[in-house]
Amino acid sequence: MNRPFLVGRFLPAHATGFGKLPKTPITKGAIPVETLEARFNERSVTYRKRNVQYLIFGQMGMLLALSMTIGAFNLRITLAGDANFVAPDQEIVQMEEMIQTAQIQKPPPPPRPPVPVEVPDDTTLDEADLDLDAFLDMEIASDIPPPPPAPAIEADDEEEIFMVVEQMPVIKGGLKQLYKYVEYPKIAQKTGIEGTVVVKLVVSPEGKPTQLEVIKSVHKVLDDAAVAGILQLEFEPARQRSRAVSVWISIPVVFDLK
């Protein structure tokens, strides 16, 4: 079986050895230079075409990916209906300086009673002479000055108002109850006045708002509306050592046109 490896026809030659392909004459000798040059030229042309195709397809892929990215960023998503988002009630957290409360000093214990001393039985007391004939002289008695007037009873000190206590007061019904009482004045709505009014007040041991003071004002119309609404509130009173006490607090009232 003839297997010319150097000619480049190994497979056909191998197949002819088993009778599968007809035998073809094999050219002997070296390949001409013109033939090699023509083959190399064909390969170079094919290589250039493939490079051009790769370049075109790569640029097209880049343009397609870039256009899809830009389109995704410019895509606007809108809801089917009007979305009404209601913000949850926010709890008011007040950070104030802790003031040390006055310590109640207990009175000292009473002194111990003296130890009784035993008196001997043979001791006798001296008899005192009593003048039973003495009488009351009214003239001498009139010269005695009258007793001094009784000291006036001082009024109790005013009740202490705390800044921070163990249990701060809470609005009965929460902030929803506040905005039920606070009315947004129509004149402020028409003129576009809005903002946040902060009111400082004292909550009494009975849970009533007292001594209201506006510490952050927006307009007199909104200030009066905020004060009028807070005056209608009821509080769970503050407690210090399980006792209802008075305490200062601040309440912000928001007026928003949205």
Closest CA to 184 of 138, 126, 228, 231: 228
pLDDT at 32: 87
Q: Can you tell me the distance from the alpha carbon of 252 to that of 229, in angstroms, rounded to the nearest whole number?
A: 12
Tens-digit pLDDT string for the chain (258 aa): 454 444 444 455 555 554 555 555 555 567 788 888 888 889 888 989 998 998 999 899 999 999 999 988 888 777 666 656 666 777 777 777 777 677 777 788 777 777 666 655 555 545 555 454 544 454 544 555 565 665 544 434 467 899 999 999 999 988 889 989 999 999 989 999 999 999 999 999 999 999 999 999 999 999 999 999 999 999 999 999 889 999 999 999 999 887
pLDDT at 149: 63
* Burial class (CB within 10 angstroms; exposed 0-12, middle 13-18, buried 19+) of 225: buried
pLDDT at 244: 93
pLDDT at 34: 87
pTM exceeds cut of 0.85: no
Pick the CATH number of 161-255 from 3.30.2420.10, 3.40.50.720, 3.40.50.261, 3.40.50.10470: 3.30.2420.10
What letter would DSSP give residue 239? E
CA angle 179/205/104 to nearest 5° reads 140
Domain boundaries, the chain: 10-72, 161-255
pLDDT at 208: 93
Q: Can you tell me the distance from the alpha carbon of 185 to that of 218, in angstroms, rounded to the nearest whole number?
A: 13
pLDDT at 160: 85
pLDDT at 1: 47
- State the angle between helix axes of 220-231 and 174-181 in degrees (0 to 180), rounded to the nearest 10: 120
Q: Can you tell me the distance from the alpha carbon of 168 to that of 250, in angstroms, rounded to the nearest whole number?
A: 11
Cβ atoms of residues 213 and 227 within 8 Å: no
Segment (H or E) for 209: strand 209-216
